[in-house]
Amino acid sequence: MNKEGAKFMILITGALLASVTLSDGAGSPAKPAPLDFNRDIRPILSDNCFACHGPDEKARKAKLRLDVKEGAFAVTDGKSPIVPGRSSASELIRRVTNTDPDEIMPPPKSGKKLTPEQIGRLRQWIDQGASWQGHWAFQPPVRPATPAVRNGKWARNPIDSFVLAKLEQEKLSPQAEADARTLIRRLSLDLIGLPPTPEEVDEFLADQKAGADGRLVDRLLASKHFGERMAQMWLDVARFADSDGYHDDTTRMMWPYRDYVINSFNANKPFDQFTIEQIAGDLLPNATLEQKVGSAFHRNGPTSSEGGADAKEYAARYAVDRVNTTATAWLGVTLQCAECHDHKYDPFTTREFYQMFAFFNQVPENPIERTLHVAPVIATPTPTQEAKLGELKREAAALEQELKAALEKPGAKPDVVQKETPAADVAELKKKVAAAKKARDDFEKTIPRLRVMADVPTPRPTYILVRGDYRSPGETVTPGVPAVLGKMPDSPKTDRVALAKWLTQPQHPLTARVTVNRLWQMIYGVGLVRTSEEFGAQGERPSHPELLDWLAVEFVESGWNVKHMLKLIVSSATYRQSSRMNPKLLALDPENRLLARGARFRLPAEMVRDNALAVASLFDRSRAVGGPSVKPYQPGDLWREFSYGDSADKAYVRSKGADLYRRSIYTFWKRSVLYPSYAMFDAPNREVCTARRPVTNTPLQAYVLLNDETFVEAARVMAQRVITERPGDFDGQLQRAFQIALARPPSAPEMQAMQNLHREMLAEYRRRPEAAKKLLGVGEAPMPATADPAGLAAWTCVANAILNFDETITKE
């Protein structure tokens, strides 16, 4: 259509142009300068050659291997695929330029074909001497020198030097700094997942002393809501849910693990320790309750209790899930390709896959049990609960002791003078014992329990499963890690503890890179490596490789300090840029990979809801962290529509009172029927480890914001709030509403638009008082008895509009 349609077309065309220039996805057009093997050459070989001439021995053709230097440079019968310095003598070039269908590579039937540009690049690289490097992500990161930049004054910390160096190379300059209001809203959403209150905004604006920004960041990082915000990201990775996932999707109790994640982030637990606890907390010497709870990480995977399921098949499946999840979460590689055959692109063998598998198939579980608590399970009492339980146990024990003594016949112990206890007293005592035991047991049942990891005392043998089939055990393997990623540290046992220690070795090539990249992705929407789940040969090269390595080394050297890294990222001048776009920049870099502006993207699902609840003051900011998962508004029979005929879980029993408005991280996560508004805003169902969510923009999302009970009620309560806070002053109310929702006052045209809407709606609802009453009846939150129905309904429409602004659900 008209103007915006045309603009959109231009922008899209820009995106296409950019996809042509940003050939390596890293934002730099090819230069005649020396080619870099990992940036310029390996992707060509990986995409086109490795499937038949790569790591997979069984699929390898002509015994030729091009993914390792020894293969690519080998001389056979006087010929070599690559003759450094001489492209014309290189067999590789002869084959890719051949016109004979029997000779040309890749073979026509593969459907793959090199472009002239790619062939040119291969030639150039060989003629430049064919310098070979191992895959970048498998080399331990080394802290690079901070690059020199022309506009040194702009940089606030080393991140900026890396970003600016690249911008200057592209002849671009950064955007101006975002204004203070935008900045505090951005920081607040990024670090605690909630919008700032108008009072917080005012306070920040009023703080003219040096270091105000730093103090704001410190306050946010110290907030208990920080952990709730971070957990949202990690729970996708941990595939955490409140239901089993497969078949009838039985309810499970895993929420103590969710609280562990929140508390760990709040306590700024070093990430290496966080890793070790989740991989092997149960196996640590004298493991604490908290460490054992951490190990629930690998009991989060989906399980089945389908009648007729083969326990062996599912046991194997769960171990595979644990390998794949570990690989995605910490290594950023796809080991699962090696489940059935050697990996086609990366040097991971099937043997190595099952060596990893051997860490995870030792759990003494019944794989197809149907119950809330599938063993191994532990109780997770709070200190208060633990004390109380101890007391109840002691009471019961003491009474039992007393009863025992009473029942002993006089003279049974010659040294003690005893009298026979009267029968009535004995009966009374028996009653007391029974009551004490019941009190003890009843209380114990209220203590949450959690599925955790454990290993069988005698290790089970592990076999390579031929083609991934659990019925075809092949060779025996022992636990181990992929050789290309470095050796495991010496330890007496090769168990999950050793695996965890290996993952957190300071020189590990992947753990720190993968983790800082995910933090970057959380803040910027796109990671420095866009494929945050894949750092292997088929993943994308980082946009700023040196910056990624710098951050990775900084992370390790800071003691795996997550808050330190986030503070560094959000304190940079890069972060503080305005997110405004201009057509030229959009055309050049639609995804902002060059970071020539601030990030602007729609909030994730949970934050969309939390924002509405916060804006309406429905969400109680003072409430303590943690607790059982809750069930907010959702259309009535949704679970029943999908449930197994006789499932106990088919009724969705909605929570009451304050639990309707808990932060979204506490919403019951049912895998088979995900909470609808989350599903529509791109949350995964968490059946598999998810490292990044897509960001879509659909009509169904409009329905959620316009019509979902949660959001309609939020609009009404927001209206009540501003009417109460600024009685009798519509313009003041409107000012307030914008401050609450957007941390800024309305512009004059916005003011006008809302005034007009309000006036018309007021007339409408004055004419139709019944309609007003109906609209105000949505949601359980109370309404002031004095409220004027037509006025409140009209204001509810205004608030409904405000909650639907693009800006309201967007981090700017």
Partner 1 sequence: MNPPSDFQRQLTRRAFLGRSALGLGALGLSSLLNGNLPAASGPPGRPQYAPKAKRIIFLFMSGGPSQLDLFDPKPKLNELNGQPMPDSLVKNERVAQLQGKQLKCMGTRYQFARYGQSGVDISELLPWTAKMADDITVIRSMQTEAINHDPAVTFMQTGSAQPGRPVMGSWLSYGLGSNNRDLPAFVVLVSGIGTGQNLHTRYWGSGFLPTVHQGVQFRSKGDPVLFVSNPPGMSPEVRRRVLDSVRDVNQRKLDVVGDPEIATRIEQYEMAYRMQTSVPELMDTSKEPASVFDLYGQDAKTPGTFAANCLLARRLAERDVRFIQLYHRDWDHHDQLPKGITTQCRQVDQAGFALVQDLKQRGLLDDTIVIWSGEFGRTPMSQSNTAYDTYGRDHHMKAFTAWVAGGGFKAGALIGATDDLGYAVTKDPVPVHHFHATVLHLMGIEHTKLVYRSQGRDFRLTDVHGNVVRALLT
How many residues touch partner 1 (CB under 8 A)? 135
Q: Judged by CB under 8 A, which stretch of 146-154, 356-364, 612-620, 680-688 contacts partner 1?
A: 680-688
Report how far apart, in Å, the C-alpha atoms of 222 and of each of 219, 259, 265, 570 are. 5, 17, 10, 15
Q: How far is the CB of 607 from partner 1 (least distance, A)?
A: 16
Closer to partner 1 by CB, 307 or 414: give it: 307
- 706 touches partner 1 (CB under 8 A): yes
Q: Judged by CB under 8 A, which stretch of 10-18, 173-181, 420-428, 449-457 contacts partner 1?
A: 10-18
Query: Which of residues 127, 400, 402, 591 is near partner 1 by CB under 8 A?
Result: 591
- 635 touches partner 1 (CB under 8 A): yes
Query: Which of residues 49, 126, 512, 761 is near partner 1 by CB under 8 A?
Result: 761
Q: CA-to-CA distance for 740 and 722, rounded, in angstroms?
A: 9
Q: How far is the CB of 358 from partner 1 (least distance, A)?
A: 20
Q: Which of residues 486-525 bind partner 1 (CB under 8 A)?
A: 525
Strands 449-451, 377-379: pairing is antiparallel
- 788 touches partner 1 (CB under 8 A): no
- 334 touches partner 1 (CB under 8 A): yes
Closer to partner 1 by CB, 105 or 537: give it: 537
- 434 touches partner 1 (CB under 8 A): no
- 302 touches partner 1 (CB under 8 A): yes
- 603 touches partner 1 (CB under 8 A): no
- 695 touches partner 1 (CB under 8 A): yes
Tokens 């006052």, located at residue: 745
Closer to partner 1 by CB, 432 or 580: give it: 580
- 32 touches partner 1 (CB under 8 A): no
Count of all residues that appear for the chain in the document: 812
Query: Which of residues 88, 173, 472, 696 is near partner 1 by CB under 8 A?
Result: 696
443-472 residues labelled b (16+ CB within 10 A) or e (exposed)? beeeebbbbbbbbeeeeeebbbbeebebee
Q: CA-to-CA distance for 406 and 376, rounded, in angstroms?
A: 39
- 759 touches partner 1 (CB under 8 A): no
| Distance, C-alpha 570 to centroid of its chain | 19
Token digits of residue 737: 């509403």
Q: CA-to-CA distance for 717 and 353, rounded, in angstroms?
A: 54
- 699 touches partner 1 (CB under 8 A): yes
Query: Which of residues 73, 443, 601, 652 is near partner 1 by CB under 8 A?
Result: 601
- 781 touches partner 1 (CB under 8 A): no
Closer to partner 1 by CB, 320 or 519: give it: 320
- 760 touches partner 1 (CB under 8 A): yes
- The helix (run of H) or strand (run of E) holding residue 473 is strand 473-477
Query: Which of residues 685, 720, 733, 739 is near partner 1 by CB under 8 A?
Result: 685
Q: Judged by CB under 8 A, which stretch of 478-486, 545-553, 615-623, 798-806 contacts partner 1?
A: 798-806
Under 8 Å between Cβ of 57 and 101: no
Q: Which of residues 445-474 bind partner 1 (CB under 8 A)?
A: 471
Burial of 386 (0-12, 13-18, 19+ CB in 10 A): middle
- 780 touches partner 1 (CB under 8 A): no
Closer to partner 1 by CB, 223 or 250: give it: 250
Q: Which of residues 719-748 bind partner 1 (CB under 8 A)?
A: 747
Report how far apart, in Å, the C-alpha atoms of 534 and of each of 84, 139, 238, 337, 422 are. 30, 15, 16, 12, 77
Q: Judged by CB under 8 A, which stretch of 85-93, 132-140, 568-576, 688-696 contacts partner 1?
A: 688-696
Task: Give the three-state DSSP class for 493.
Answer: coil
Q: Which of residues 303-332 bind partner 1 (CB under 8 A)?
A: 304, 306-310, 317, 328
Task: Give the three-state DSSP class for 635.
Answer: coil
Q: Which of residues 645-664 bind partner 1 (CB under 8 A)?
A: 645, 647, 650
Task: Give the three-state DSSP class for 561.
Answer: coil
Q: CA-to-CA distance for 413 and 417, rounded, in angstroms?
A: 8
Query: Which of residues 101, 211, 749, 782 is near partner 1 by CB under 8 A?
Result: 749
DSSP class of residue 471 equals T
| Distance, C-alpha 71 to centroid of its chain | 39
Q: CA-to-CA distance for 363 and 359, rounded, in angstroms?
A: 9
- 352 touches partner 1 (CB under 8 A): no
Q: Which of residues 196-255 bind partner 1 (CB under 8 A)?
A: 245-249
DSSP class of residue 508 equals -
| Distance, C-alpha 771 to centroid of its chain | 43
- 18 touches partner 1 (CB under 8 A): yes
- 703 touches partner 1 (CB under 8 A): yes
List the Cα angle 756/760/761 in 5-degree steps.
115
Task: Give the three-state DSSP class for 362.
Answer: coil
